[in-house]
Structure 1
Amino acid sequence: MSAGQMHADMVPIDEGLVRRLVAAQFPQWAELGLERFPSGGTVNAMYRLGEDMVVRLPLVEAGVKGVSLEQEWLPRLAGRLPTAIPEVLGAGDPTHEYPLPWSVYRWLEGENPEAGAVRDSKLAEDLAAFVTVMRGIVLPGAPKAYRGGPLTLLDASTSAAIEELRGIPQEGIDCDAVAAAWEDALAAPDWDGPPVWLHADLMPGNLLVDDGRLTGVIDFGCTGIGDPACDLFPAWNLLPTDAREVFRQALGVDDATWRRGRGRTLSQALIALPYYRTTNPAMAHNARHVIRTVLEEG
């Protein structure tokens, strides 16, 4: 992997390539302005197309499943949720020059919230409303959510990440305390209810806000049904203590689900930090925030 490259198997993407793809497959948009949109995302590159659209292309083959998942399920989820979600305007085909499927979406306005900058409980209330409605959706043939299964499925990768962090002392992670927090999550009872619909990746980078209120949720590449604890991520990756409690109370989360949710969020952070610490500052920063928050909560 070259310096600064997130993944060893990244597909080369640049503005010229995207212009050629759009011109060949969507000639009605060929003359619109095109500009790379800076993002802390890890799986897709995004290019603003005109004023009202965005082209989203997987950086790695692992992102292909999310493309087909969104193209199939976003139209079926549209109109059922209390906030805006991406609208697929075009499904791009692989070519000899770019071998993966891709999509064009309607542009959604808003800014990503930042952990530590949330000042009141309004965003917590909005997030709880989104998660509540998402859980209540019933659609036939729902896929299994990424990470939505038993927490034990994450044990090997999480434990390996903890050991890797022991070898990075400059990060200053109390790995014994982190391991104890992870063991606590593993000891929580598994979800024994029916699987529910999940976004399954409610990271700050996948949320859009305006004036402190949730206006949109993007990146449904992990969506599907599973353990409701999977959509508690914002409690630790974004919300301050008081708002975290508002979020929990609004969702009526029991102790076991809360412990699993905390463990899931911690697992994601532990795996992300050693992987992205030198290549994706946004992901690494949020991972450190999650680890610190979980340990402070006890």
Structure 2
Amino acid sequence: MKSPEITEPLLRTLLKEQHPDLADLEIRRAARGWDNELWRLGDDLALRMPRTERAPGLLRKEYRWLPAMAPGLPLPVPTPLRLGVPSTRFPEPWTVAAWVPGTPADRTPVSRSAQAAEALGDFLRTLHEPAPPGAPPHQGRGGPLRPLADDFPGRLADLSPEDTGIGTDDAHTLRALWDDAVAAPAWQGPPTWLHCDLHPANVVVADGALTGVLDFGELCAGDPATDLGAAWLLLPQGAAPRFFEAYGRADPAMIRRAKGWAAIQSLALIDVGRNGERGLPGGKVTWGHAGRATIQRLVGR
């Protein structure tokens, strides 16, 4: 059964049927994300409505795990508070979640470098606890880099200097950084909880400060270095040392792997940005800007 178009009348009807105490709150569209549409519900809540085939599974995962984790995290997150069940009106699950105010960092980058470095380091130090039995396993991202060793060079070669914002010498530097990350010793500790999708569209900013972390659909257990790539994906140039000081657990091998994860995620952001420049479905021009900024930080520009 194909999901119907998501509209304010449909959402109000779903709330009247399943969560009638919320049905009189104001409903307004907020954003169209990669997997879900986001609608504001009153001042403090949001409706997350799936729009891709994989989205229902991601929403169920968030609903299963995030409520227990959220109270201990030092930044606000969109905690799922209620679950909407599939019905004849809408055939997939959906959630009512806490609204996290702020502007996504792909549209308003972090400018308060020290605050953001310390806030992000504290957040990931808190999140990166050993995951319990039954935690969602990683699906490539979150695992070792070596299986991706041949993927990065090809993707980099497919991008022009205009796409990446760097010339030949810096491209060689980026390739050497990748090779060093792949060669770094693998994670030997227990799998830890990971956000696993920490790019600029998944954090929010207010007055230049990092104020919240969004979209835990990729939540899984794996190598913490995956998330530590956020030091270059999210933070201004020069903020990485302060971030790692706040995080307090990173050894040299972790930092090498983290740079690799930042590098390959930067290429993914640029690909999405190119699609946006061409007007293709799923394209987001702001992601391309974020990917190029990441590369500039990695090569020291």
TM range (shorter): 0.7 to 0.9
Closer, same or farther in 2 for the Cα pair 1:256/1:137, shift >3 Å? closer
- Are 1:47 and 1:55, in contact at CA under 8 Å, matched by a contact in 2? yes
1:286 to 276, 286, 290: 290
Distance 1:152 1:116 in 2: 31
Deviation track 1:146-203 (CA, whole Å, cap 9, x = no partner) reads 511111233455344324325x856555474343332222122211222222222222
Q: What's the CA shift for 1:23?
A: 3.4
Distance 1:95 1:164 in 2: 44
Question: What RMSD in Å do the two structures reach over aligned CA positions?
Answer: 2.8
- Are 2:199 and 2:230, in contact at CA under 8 Å, matched by a contact in 1? yes
Q: Where do 5+ consecutive residues of structure 2 fail to align?
A: 277-282
- Superposition pairs of residues 94-113 of structure 1, within 5 angstroms: 94-96=86-88, 98-113=90-105
2:231 to 232, 235, 260: 235
1:251 to 225, 240, 247: 247
Distance 2:10 2:83 in 1: 16
- Are 2:3 and 2:91, in contact at CA under 8 Å, matched by a contact in 1? no
1:26 to 13, 19, 22: 19
Determine the structure 2 residue equivalent to 1:121. Answer: 114
Q: What's the CA shift for 1:205?
A: 2.7
- Superposition pairs of residues 110-259 of structure 1, within 5 angstroms: 110-113=102-105, 117-136=110-129, 139-146=132-139, 147-155=141-149, 157-166=151-160, 172-174=165-167, 176-177=171-172, 178-252=174-248, 253-259=250-256
Distance 1:291 1:10 in 2: 39
Q: Where do 5+ consecutive residues of structure 1 fail to align?
A: 1-8
Deviation track 1:5-51 (CA, whole Å, cap 9, x = no partner) reads xxxx9985344443343333323322321111136x42221000112
| TM-score normalised by the chain length of structure 2 | 0.83
Closer, same or farther in 2 for the Cα pair 1:169/1:119, shift >3 Å? closer
Count of aligned residue pairs for this structure pair:
287
Closer, same or farther in 2 for the Cα pair 1:124/1:184, shift >3 Å? same
Q: What's the CA shift for 1:206?
A: 2.4
| TM-score normalised by the chain length of structure 1 | 0.83
- Are 1:201 and 1:233, in contact at CA under 8 Å, matched by a contact in 2? no
Distance 1:10 1:154 in 2: 35
Distance 1:171 1:257 in 2: 25
Closer, same or farther in 2 for the Cα pair 1:51/1:251, shift >3 Å? closer
